[in-house]
Amino acid sequence: MQSAPRTIVVLGTGGTIAGRAGSPDQHLAYTSAVLPVEQLLAALPAGGGELVSASEQVAQVDSKDMDFAIWRRLAEAVERHLARPEVRGVVITHGTDTLEETAYFLARVVDASKPVVLTAAMRPASSSEADGPANLASAIVVAAHADPGVVVVLASQVHSARAVRKVHPSRLDAFSSGEQGPLAQIVAGTVRPLHAWPTEAPSIGLANLPEDPAAWPWVEIVTAVAGADGRAVDLLVQGGVAGIVVAATGNGTLHRRLEHALLQARARGVAVLRSTRCLDGSIAAGEGDALAAAGDLTPVKARVELILTLLRAVARPLPRG
């Protein structure tokens, strides 16, 4: 009987994990996306890369500059390698700034029949505090032994693509899964599950993602604040925006003038989705809600969801409430 495949493919996209500074004591001032993915693998602890069969440089960017074109190329590369029978899983090195968005995008686009594991670093590779090698080694362990699905591995914790979010700008344990907590912990090179593994179903096929980034729908985020009057919404509508995510207060509440502007935008054909600006929790939708709610999705993930909704080959209206 043939044994299960255990080889791993590592895809590089740049980020702090591939960054360098002028000296080892420079932890926050550095240039991102300098080192190729092959050098990241060469810096792994002894034995950390023995399962890796191949690597590919999909992009080389600071993740603050992540864009739709790279997302599509990355999704293509993931699907191509997952289809190889000898591949057990795929690891992606990424910057931390937009990691949560890329993870959620992949979870909604790629049929992850095998593990797809994103990892990153809060310190550049040249730092005396470099966390990239340990994070990458942990991600390889998860890709080799965990269940299928898109997850994120940082600081010895495994997060679901849906729940993960960056909660601190500089500390090493900068990511959280909010109230849900991490899916698992990496202890002594083994995966110790804490919750059920994610089963996020893709919402759109890769073939329906436009190759031209200009063809992707324009979706913006507007934040509800004291004194909001809706002028930002009006300007976006005049500019031709296709969708608006509103980071609402509390349980999805909106200033009356902002809500009026959003309702007018929807009447003019703009898709509108409510998230909450609260750091944790989920919007509890009510029967009389005038605008659709994004549930537990953060504003940036609600934006990804709305973009994909607008890209679906068969239009499906957003649920009300």
Q: How far apart are CA 176 and CA 119, in angstroms?
A: 14
Find all residues with CB under 8 Å of 204, minimum gap 6, and list them: 108, 109, 308, 311, 312, 313
**Residues belonging to the chain:** 321
Given the residues 7, 13, 16, 223, the one annotated as active site: 16
Maximum C-alpha span of the chain: 68
CB-based contact 111:206 (threshold 8 Å): no
Find all residues with CB under 8 Å of 63, minimum gap 6, and list them: 13, 14, 15, 32, 94, 95, 96, 97, 98, 99, 102, 120
Token output for 222: 């507007």
Question: DSSP per residue over 68-130, as a string?
Answer: HHHHHHHHHHHHHHHTSTTEEEEEEE--STTHHHHHHHHHHHS--SSEEEEE--SS-TTSTT-
Residue 253: active-site member = no
**Pairs from 182-189 (Cβ < 8 Å, separation ≥ 24):** 182/157, 182/158, 183/151, 183/158, 183/159, 184/142, 184/146, 184/157, 184/158, 185/156, 185/157, 185/158, 186/138, 186/141, 186/142, 186/153, 186/156, 186/157, 186/158, 187/156, 189/141
- For 155-242, where are the E strands, in sequence order? 157-160, 165-166, 175-176, 184-187, 190-193, 219-223
- DSSP bridge pairs for 157: 154, 185
Residues with a known catalytic role: 16
